């Protein structure tokens, strides 16, 4: 029987830009989270007595500010060496050869695969062959998998690749390839990296994104960790997700529909936060609260938004073991939108236009390309980088914005036309 760990996108010592702007943020805990998650990975490898660990790119988050990041990684690899566990890694877009200027000698148990061409490492004593290639440059736009070698007969063949495959929302289309192309290599397991959400693209053979090791901001929600892979004597593969994060990011969306009072909304929030805490495996949570929907309670909330934002934070403190990253109050007065849509005039025209745009969200970035580029140049850095970054390049994000704008404009126009 063979056991190994598959991880990727560790982003060790990620700078977490803009974190200090958040109220009462546990800055030290979040800043050290990537290190603590790596320690959990090492502990799991030792506990499970795995044969080796695969790191499918983006071990680092770019060039080091100093050597402490590299030294810390070396210290963890020494622990694996003492446990006789090997490590095989490739560089991704964040730690490509063109980006990392500082280097340190790695322990003998660590092998970084070549960035010049695909490399194969045979582990004959384990009956394994590992094929992979590091990035030479950050923006790798070629299908590297095309150059990966044929299978090594009689061995369990593993491909390790940092790729977007056919494209994934929120990720640059680096080293693009196809699932059919990967399967055509007839490897027994594909260890992928680059996409920060856990995903199995295929079961036969397994083609797997483990997701990143530790969520770093509110766009990386839910459990994060690695894959524990077991191969039995008949070559059957079992894949077990293992959460290793030390702090978890979540979005708590509260439906405000028909709530008569703000207190009723707070009761709904309390229940949902308690459920998130119960599902967190005793990990502290960083939670964004979004309260959305038409309700009679809107008048009180709109009259004192700061008070009700503070009330949300007070509920979170009472629930415990979580920090509120941000509160978004998106309530509105109840309105019969079906009746409004039937009216003529500017509201009807507005709804007709937005309906056309929502029907084809993929076209939004191209349709608004000039305006979006101008807007990007005018946005402050904190809105283009870090946890609050506004993603203006993807239709799904723009579609959500369009939905919010439509609701806002319709309500304003409607109330203006119906005002006495």
pLDDT, tens only, 282-323: 999 999 999 999 999 999 999 999 999 999 999 999 999 999
Q: Is the peptide bond before 330 cis (omega within 30 degrees of 0)?
A: no
pTM of the entire predicted model: 0.81
What is the pLDDT, as a whole number, of residue 242?
98
Query: What stretches of 144-201 show up as alpha helix (H) in DSSP?
Result: 179-184
The token pair that represents 326 in the structure block: 């941000």
What domains sit in the chain, N to C, each tagged with a CATH number? Answer: 2-243 (3.60.21.10), 247-334 (no CATH), 335-420 (no CATH)
What is the pLDDT, as a whole number, of residue 25?
78
The token pair that represents 391 in the structure block: 């993603």
Q: Is pLDDT above 70 for 172? A: yes
Tell me the Cα Rg of the chain: 25
The residue-averaged pLDDT of 352-357 equals 67
The token pair that represents 207 in the structure block: 């083609």
Task: For CA atoms 173, 229, 54, 212, give the dihedral sign.
Answer: positive
The residue-averaged pLDDT of 180-209 equals 96
What is the pLDDT, as a whole number, of residue 420?
45
Q: Is pLDDT above 70 for 366? A: no
- Tell me, rounded to whole angstroms, the distance of Cα 306 from its chain centroid: 30
What is the pLDDT, as a whole number, of residue 346?
64
pLDDT, tens only, 8-21: 999 999 876 556 66
Q: Is pLDDT above 70 for 337? A: no
What is the pLDDT, as a whole number, of residue 289?
97
| Separation of alpha carbons 339 and 334, rounded Å | 12
User: What percentage of the chain reaches a pLDDT higher than 90?
Assistant: 65
pLDDT, tens only, 222-264: 999 999 999 999 999 999 999 999 999 999 999 999 999 999 9
Give the residue with greater pLDDT, 398 vs 156: 156
SS3 319: helix
User: What percentage of the chain reaches a pLDDT higher than 70?
Assistant: 77
Give me the residues paired with residue 248 across strands. 285
Q: Are 196 and 212 in contact (CB under 8 A)?
A: yes
Give me the residues paired with residue 227 across strands. 6, 241
Pairing of strands 119-123, 199-203: unpaired
What is the pLDDT, as a whole number, of residue 97?
75
Q: At what angle do helices 346-358 and 395-418 cross, to 10 degrees?
A: 170
Q: Grade residue 62 by pLDDT with cuts at 50, 70 and 90.
A: confident
Q: What is the average pLDDT value for the chain, to the nearest integer?
A: 86
DSSP per-residue codes, 8-32: ----BT---TTGGGSTT--HHHHHT
């Amino acid at each position: 029987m063979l056991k190994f760990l598959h991880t990727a996108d560790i982003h060790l010592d990620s700078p977490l830009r803009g974190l200090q702007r958040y109220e009462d943020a546990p800055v030290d805990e979040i800043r050290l989270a990537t290190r603590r998650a790596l320690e959990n990975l090492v502990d799991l490898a030792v506990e499970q007595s795995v044969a080796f660990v695969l790191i499918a790119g983006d071990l680092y988050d770019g060039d080091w500010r100093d050597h402490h990041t590299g030294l810390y990684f070396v210290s963890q690899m020494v622990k694996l060496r003492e446990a006789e566990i090997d490590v095989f890694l490739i560089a991704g877009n964040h730690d490509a050869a063109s980006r990392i200027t500082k280097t340190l000698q790695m322990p003998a148990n660590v092998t970084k695969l070549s960035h010049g061409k695909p490399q194969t490492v045979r582990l004959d004593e384990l009956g394994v062959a590992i094929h992979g290639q590091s990035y030479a440059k950050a923006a790798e736009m070629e299908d590297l998998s095309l150059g990966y070698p044929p299978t090594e007969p009689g061995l369990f063949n593993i491909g390790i690749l940092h790729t977007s495959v056919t494209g994934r929302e929120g990720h640059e289309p680096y080293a693009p390839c196809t699932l059919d192309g990967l399967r055509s290599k007839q490897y027994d397991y594909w260890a992928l990296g680059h996409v920060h959400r856990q995903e199995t693209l295929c079961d036969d053979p397994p083609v797997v994104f483990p997701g990143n090791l530790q969520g770093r901001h509110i766009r990386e929600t839910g459990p994060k960790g690695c894959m524990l892979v077991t191969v039995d004597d008949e070559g059957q593969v079992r894949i077990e997700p293992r959460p290793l994060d030390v702090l978890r990011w979540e979005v708590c969306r509260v439906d405000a529909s028909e709530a008569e009072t703000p207190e009723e909304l707070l009761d709904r929030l309390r229940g949902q936060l308690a459920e998130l805490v119960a599902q967190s495996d005793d990990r502290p949570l960083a939670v964004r609260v979004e309260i959305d929907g038409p309700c009679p309670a809107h008048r009180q909330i709109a009259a004192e938004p700061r008070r009700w934002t503070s009330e949300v934070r007070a509920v979170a403190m009472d629930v415990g073991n979580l920090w509120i990253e941000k509160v978004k109050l998106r309530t509105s007065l109840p309105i019969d939108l079906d009746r409004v849509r039937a009216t003529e005039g500017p509201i009807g025209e507005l709804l007709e236009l937005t309906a056309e745009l929502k029907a084809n969200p993929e076209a939004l970035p191209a349709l608004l390309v000039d305006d979006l580029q101008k807007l990007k140049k005018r946005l402050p850095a904190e809105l283009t980088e870090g946890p609050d970054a506004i993603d203006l390049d993807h239709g799904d994000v723009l579609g959500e914005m369009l939905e919010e704008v439509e609701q806002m404009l319709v309500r304003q126009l409607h109330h203006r036309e119906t005002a006495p």
